[in-house]
């Protein structure tokens, strides 16, 4: 079945460091891919998405490219801030089950000043 695997955390970085959070997926066909962020005490917020191969999603300095050949959707940011500290979830909605979202286990990011 469809599934998402993302790197375990926590990831601890200094402010202005480069961020990569790895995400790979297993799915039939061409799923849509998403990154959600969960700040402490809050619900999930959509960070960015890509709906077809080679698409790049971007928002707030974060980027991720849908790589069909490596079944990956890695999240990157060139210079993190303390305010980026949160839990990041990679997710997919299946090509044939659009209404079901499959989430990874989440990666906690801690950014130190």
Partner 1 sequence: DAGVTQSPTHLIKTRGQHVTLRCSPISGHKSVSWYQQVLGQGPQFIFQYYEKEERGRGNFPDRFSARQFPNYSSELNVNALLLGDSALYLCASSIGQYNEQFFGPGTRLTVL
Report how far residue 21's alpha carbon sits from residue 33's, in angstroms, rounded to the nearest whole number: 14
Count of residues in the chain: 113
C-beta of 14 vs 105, nearer to partner 1: 105
**Closest to partner 1 by CB, 23 or 80:** 23
Dihedral (CA of 21, 9, 110, 37) sign: positive
Q: Is residue 42 involved in binding partner 1 (CB under 8 A)?
A: yes
Q: Of the candidates 52, 56, 68, 100, which one interacts with partner 1 according to CB under 8 A?
A: 100
Q: Which is nearer to partner 1, 56 or 79 (CB)?
A: 56
Return the sign of the alpha-carbon dihedral for residues 54, 100, 21, 83: positive
Peptide bond into 28 cis (omega under 30): no
When asked if residue 11 is in the footprint of partner 1 (CB under 8 A), the reply is: no
Number of residues that bind partner 1 (CB under 8 A): 22
Q: How far is the CB of 43 from partner 1 (least distance, A)?
A: 4
Q: Decide: is 91 part of the binding site for partner 1 (CB under 8 A).
A: yes
Structure tokens at 43: 């619900």
Phi, psi of 82 (to 5 degrees): -55, -35
7 binds partner 1 (CB under 8 A): no
């Amino acid at each position: 079945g469809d599934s998402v695997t993302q790197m375990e955390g926590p990831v601890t970085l200094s402010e202005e460091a480069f961020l990569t959070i790895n995400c790979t997926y297993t799915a039939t066909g061409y799923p849509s891919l998403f990154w959600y962020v969960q700040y402490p005490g809050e619900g999930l917020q959509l960070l960015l998405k890509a709906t077809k191969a080679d698409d790049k999603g971007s928002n707030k300095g974060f980027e991720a490219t849908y790589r069909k050949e490596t079944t990956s959707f890695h999240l990157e940011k060139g210079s993190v801030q303390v305010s980026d500290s949160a839990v990041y979830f990679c997710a997919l909605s299946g090509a044939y089950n659009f209404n079901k979202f499959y989430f990874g286990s989440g990666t906690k990011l801690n950014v130190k000043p």
